[in-house]
A = this chain, B = another copy of it.
Amino acid sequence: MSVKFRKLALIGIGLIGSSIALAARRQGLADVIAISTRKAETLEEARELGLGDLYTLDAAEAVRGADLVILCTPVGAYESVMQAIASSLAPGAILSDVGSVKQHVVNVLAPLVPAGVSLIPGHPIAGTEHSGPSAGFAELFAGRWCVLTPGPEVASTQVDKLVQFWEAMGSHVETMEASHHDMVLAITSHIPHLVAYNIVGTVADLEAATQSEVIKFSASGFRDFTRIAASDPVMWRDIFLTNRDAVLEMLGRFSEDLSALQRSVRMGDGPALEAMFTRTRAIRRSIISAGQETAAADFGRPHEATPTPTAPVFVREHGGGDDA
């Protein structure tokens, strides 16, 4: 477990890139950490945060001599990044990424990978709703899974090195085929985000008065959805553009199930509703016992220790109702 790279190049330095920089530094996984990103202001932010050792707007310069290159940009930028860096990649280097889809990444990158470079796409299943270099933290990957999808042509010694890198940052690592990854993530991640974006969008379309009530009373369930619907829009656009088939397949199942549930509501079928609401509890228990979630109530959200004194907000509204 004493893997160490001479030079780690991170192309893109958002939430994931900055967390890798911090975790790799803390665990001593690279002699040099080079950071490259497209925007000068983001690069300056990374420099001020002290995330790496070398900072450059030129991705080709960052990857020169690197034995581990990780693309941390939105997936939509991979092709242009790859065209910029391909001729500068060092023989023997590992080229990886952190994108949320994998088959598309293989399709885009594989044709451009020079001989002697090992393409091992990766996906750390970790994140928060925050974006940008200042959102990163070294513990982001601790106890979380990282999926690697190396093709059969990659030497297992190279895969082992990348596995050790992620394990040293606290991740559990699993390898699988890219297409299988995409199907599993469609249901664990892409459909939940689509549904969350959708319900928040439905609320955004309500008239202003009702919308302010929804915000006021959001603790009744709605606010849970808004967290993931606040994730990076460009990243999520790219995910839906590049994992379309698996998303549409899983969305089809979701919609069929929703129609059945809607029918139970319409028919007033109490036993069917109760049965449905009971069986879903087991899934949460499994997630908690798998160490992927806290058992604390309300996600462990803070609750105020003492009631706050509040201005009186007592308003009689008998005439203002809405019979909808």
Interface residues of A (CB under 8 A from B): 23, 27, 100, 125-130, 135, 137, 139-145, 147, 152, 156, 159-160, 163, 167-177, 179-180, 183-185, 187-206, 210-211, 213-231, 233-234, 236-237, 240-241, 244, 246-251, 253-255, 257-258, 261-262, 264-266, 268, 270, 273-274, 276-287, 290, 292-294, 296-308, 310, 312-318, 320-324
Measured between alpha carbons, how far is A170 from B305 in the docked complex, in Å? 10
Q: B219, A126: Cβ atoms under 8 Å?
A: yes
Closest B residue to A156 by beta carbon equals B316
- Contacting residues, chain B, for A274 (C-beta < 8 A): 233-234, 237
Q: A244, B268: Cβ atoms under 8 Å?
A: yes
Measured between alpha carbons, how far is A315 from B310 in the docked complex, in Å? 56
- Contacting residues, chain B, for A179 (C-beta < 8 A): 321-324
- Contacting residues, chain B, for A236 (C-beta < 8 A): 273, 277
Closest B residue to A252 by beta carbon equals B262
Q: A189, B287: Cβ atoms under 8 Å?
A: no
Sample (15) of A-B pairs whose CB atoms are under 8 Å apart: A27-B307, A137-B303, A145-B216, A163-B314, A174-B314, A180-B321, A184-B213, A192-B199, A195-B199, A198-B254, A202-B253, A204-B279, A205-B257, A211-B283, A233-B277
- Contacting residues, chain B, for A303 (C-beta < 8 A): 137, 139-140, 142
Q: A290, B253: Cβ atoms under 8 Å?
A: no
